Amino acid sequence: MARYIFITGGVVSSLGKGLASAALGALLQARGYTVRLRKLDPYLNVDPGTMSPFEHGEVFVTDDGAETDLDLGHYERFTGVSARATDSVSSGRIYSTVLEKERRGDYLGKTIQVIPHVTNEIKDFLKVGADEVDFMLCEIGGTVGDIEGLPFFEAIRQFSQEQPRGECIFMHLTLLPWIKASGELKTKPTQHSVKELRSIGIAPDVLVCRSEGPIPQKERDKLALFCNVRPDSVIAAQDLKSIYEAPLAYHREGLDQAVLDAFNISPAPKPDLTRWEDVYDRIFHAEGEVRVAIVGKYIQLEDAYKSIAEALTHGGMANRVKVKAEWIDAEIFENEDPAPHLEGFHAILVPGGFGERGTEGKIKAAQFARERKIPYMGICLGMQMAVIEAARNMADLTDAGSEEFDHEAGGKRFTPVVYHLKEWVQGNHTVKRKVGDDKGGTMRLGAYTAHLVEGSKVAEVYGSTEIEERHRHRYEVDIKYREALEEKGMVFSGLSPDGRLPEIVEWKDHPWFIGVQFHPELKSKPFEPHPLFADFVRAARDISRLV
Ligand code: GLN
């Protein structure tokens, strides 16, 4: 049975709880332990799949097809452990399961209550796969005191009492604000936050305190005294230049040691941090910079494309260059020449997206990259736009478009080069969907295999002709246009195993133009950059050195 580490937050949100959890996971691995990380989110959506990227940031998709919180992306990037559907849960999912059971009569006429029915459901979630790892790290979303969060706090309290003594610890993340006028670091908000936590029966073992600068010993002692933790369990989390510094920084601060001490693990196995030292070295000793334009729609909130930004950074690390990603709103050049906006970039990336808004701009970006021979990566919608551009401008299908936009507008305007997929093969069964199905979870989601054409650019980049990547989309490029487009030099270089669904397209006479129907960014790690991102940045670097 795993040991459990519960990670909670206080004072304010956005302190980097997910990052702290992920970094702790990486440090435990560095000491030879196996870990799994989990996120418990108090919101009432069943999953984040239906939330706007503007509200919630990116939806992270797991191999087994769950739409989850972007923190699971952090977990994977730091630990390399592939997240599963059972690593993320929300209040909405818990309540919907409880209510389904109630309707089925599973509770045998009982009155359904938060305690025990909802808390039991949460505890069952915590136990899944507990035999597989040494440590289970469970992060509770939001901050202590949030109304929605209460059942989760109550459940972890009960859980810790039901486990053998010493097998669960609590780590609490707070903020120490710096008051400029008096030149002081304030501990009071943290004291209040811990008081709140203790009032619901949870006493933190480790306090992680975010602060702009170092925490003097005096404040550490005060925090230890008033919050009832040991002085060496007060861990400072200072602002970092790169998130990938976090494992080394937390290790220097003694986080992993404090955690192992709290479990009474002695002597603690020595850590091997070479992986993170190499990552650090690659980030902070980069030579040169490449500029990549990301032409998208959700540009106000960088978290909307979190994994793409990270995968580009990893691609830079693979080539020891810094990648400067600049976000460009596709709408601004829908009715004008994109050249003034795109010139000067060493590569263009069109990411995934939903809806018609901005798509004409993305099509222009694909055209610009094709004609000017600038490296182009199209991800999901970005691939679909590249194919529509090719159909319109190279294959005389001037009204080529996507059925997605016709559905949205409620009328037929385009030749559907990209069409709504209603039936496809997953493993050894067929999945069926209707246009009007519920919005949640009705996409082609999760890992699917693709076969790559031998001798193609992608086969060379992957070093393989069979790959598995994660999907999240409803629409597909229609295979019936393959011949017409291949005649013009666009190669359909990756296909679903049954040959019906185009997974990858590339232009033959182009230094680097690849569109993929899947999301390679979800599998990239700092210590294992995704081959597509590594090679895309390599191509951008080569161009940057020419000019
Ligand atoms: N909107 C497109 C589809 O559903 C693309 C989705 C995406 O880019 N993730 O097929």
pLDDT tens digits for 99-146?
999 999 999 889 999 999 999 999 999 999 999 999 999 999 999 989
Tell me, yes or no, if 519 is annotated catalytic. yes
353 lines ligand 1 (CB under 6 A): yes
> Residue 543, CB half-sphere, CA atoms under 13 Å: how many?
24
Q: Identify the active-site residue in 209, 341, 521, 530.
A: 521
Can you tell me which atom of ligand 1 is nearest the CA of 352?
8
What's the gap in Å between 40 CA and the centre of ligand 1? 27
Whether residue 521 lies in the annotated active site = yes
pLDDT digits (tens, 9 = 90+) for 377-389: 999 999 999 999 9
CATH 3.40.50.880 domain locations along the chain: 286-546
Q: Whose CA is nearest to atom 3 of ligand 1?
A: 473
> Structure pTM?
0.93
Judged against a pLDDT cut of 80, whether residue 358 lies above it is answered with yes
Q: Tell whether ligand 1 has an atom less than 6 A from the beta carbon of residue 472.
A: yes
Is residue 427 predicted with pLDDT exceeding 90? no
pLDDT beyond 60 at 438? no
Task: Give the burial string for 479-500 (b: 16+ CB within 10 Å, else e).
Answer: eebbebbeeeebbbbbbbeeee
- Residue 434 main-chain phi, psi, to 5 deg: -110, 160
Superfamily of 286-546 according to CATH: Class I glutamine amidotransferase (GATase) domain (3.40.50.880)
Instruction: Please choose from 307, 350, 474 the residue to mutate so as to test ligand 1's pocket, defined by most ligand atoms within 8 A of CB.
Output: 474
Position 433 confidence tier, pLDDT thresholds 50, 70, 90: confident
Q: What is the mean pLDDT of residues 201-230?
A: 94
d(CA 73, CA 58): 9
Q: What is the torsion angle, in degrees rounded to the nearest 10, for the CA atoms of residue 373, residue 378, residue 384 and residue 388?
A: -10
H or E stretch at 296: strand 289-296
| Residue 422, pLDDT score | 84
Measured in Å, residue 182 CA sits from the centre of ligand 1 at: 52
Closest residue to atom 5 of ligand 1, CA basis:
381
CA distances from 496 to 300, 338, 402, 426, 470 (A): 34, 34, 20, 10, 13
Average pLDDT across the chain, whole number? 93
Counting residues of the chain whose pLDDT is more than 70, the rounded percentage is: 97
- The first and second tokens of residue 218, run together, are 């005096």
CA of 454 to the centre of ligand 1 (A): 27
Q: Distance between CA 120 and CA 30 in Å, rounded? A: 33
pLDDT of residue 297: 83
Q: Could you say which of 3.40.50.1970, 3.90.870.10, 3.40.640.10, 3.40.50.300 is the CATH number of the domain covering 3-279?
A: 3.40.50.300
pLDDT for the residue 219: 92
Looking at residue 164, what DSSP letter applies? P
Query: Does residue 439 carry a pLDDT above 80?
Result: no
pLDDT of residue 28: 98
Residue ranges of the chain that CATH labels 3.40.50.300: 3-279
- Which residues, 6+ apart, have CB-to-CB distance to 61 below 8 Å? 67, 68, 445, 446, 470, 471, 472, 519, 522
Q: What is the mean pLDDT of residues 515-537?
A: 98
Q: Residue 441 pLDDT > 60, yes or no?
A: no
**H, E, C per residue of 54-89:** HHHCCCEECCCCCEECCHHHHHHHHHCCCCCHHHEE
**What is the pLDDT, as a whole number, of residue 408?**
84
Q: What are the tokens at 282?
A: 């690659």
Helix (H) or strand (E) holding 276: helix 274-284
Ligand 1 atom closest to Cα of residue 519: 9
Q: Which atom of ligand 1 is nearest to the CA of 380?
A: 8
Phi, psi of 247 (to 5 degrees): -60, -45
Of 380, 403, 473, 476, the catalytic one is 380
pLDDT digits (tens, 9 = 90+) for 144-191: 989 999 999 999 999 999 999 999 999 999 999 998 898 889 999 999
